[in-house]
Amino acid sequence: MQWRNSSSHYGLVSILMHWLVALAVFGLFALGYWMVGLDYYSGWYKTAPDLHKSIGLVLFTVMLARVLWRGFSPPPASLPDHGRLTRLASKLGHSFLYLGLFVLMISGYLISTADGRGIPVFGLFEVPASLTSIPDQEDVAGLVHEYLAWALVIFAGIHALAALKHHFIDRDRTLMRMFGR
């Protein structure tokens, strides 16, 4: 398998980043959903949010790399049998996923740094708080983060269903290209 994308196939780097991001998004959603129900006396009360933030910041870096890689190694063209509406839906859907993930991660950063403290990343270094003067920053960013997380996970499920539809109903190569075949 080649590293870079070709005109007809995704390369190894794009495939690995796609599945890594998908795993991280669903894992962070599950962790976030679980941790908001923890009480003060839980052993995970501080650990779970710290883990969530650290993974989120690593994901932000991976997403930046993914955008740069996409510029360096553009994705393959749409399949010839995809109509104009399918190509438009694909472009809009992927744009929503990319933009939504960045907004989600920025809102998480704004929640975590609203009090002026930086975010430790796995205890190795700290990302400083740089924007702390937005009125009701923690509350507004928290609402954006919560609702957008739900929207992205639901939309990612729709994205997966669309890939399965292409594979089982349309019988085209859309899904197989993301597995490197």
Tens digits of per-residue pLDDT, 4-61?
Answer: 999 888 999 999 999 999 999 999 999 999 999 999 999 999 999 999 999 999 999 9
Q: Quick one: which of 94, 100, 134, 114 has its CA closest to 53? A: 114
Q: Is residue 7 part of a domain?
A: no
Q: Is residue 47 part of a domain?
A: yes
Residue with tokens 């933030």: 53
Contact 141, 105 (CB under 8 A): no
Contact 159, 19 (CB under 8 A): no
**Residue 114 is part of which domain span?**
12-177
pTM given for the model: 0.94
Q: Is residue 3 part of a domain?
A: no
Q: Is residue 1 part of a domain?
A: no
Query: Which amino acid, one-letter code, is at 25?
Result: V
Contact 173, 79 (CB under 8 A): yes
Q: Is residue 43 part of a domain?
A: yes
CATH of the domain at 108: 1.20.950
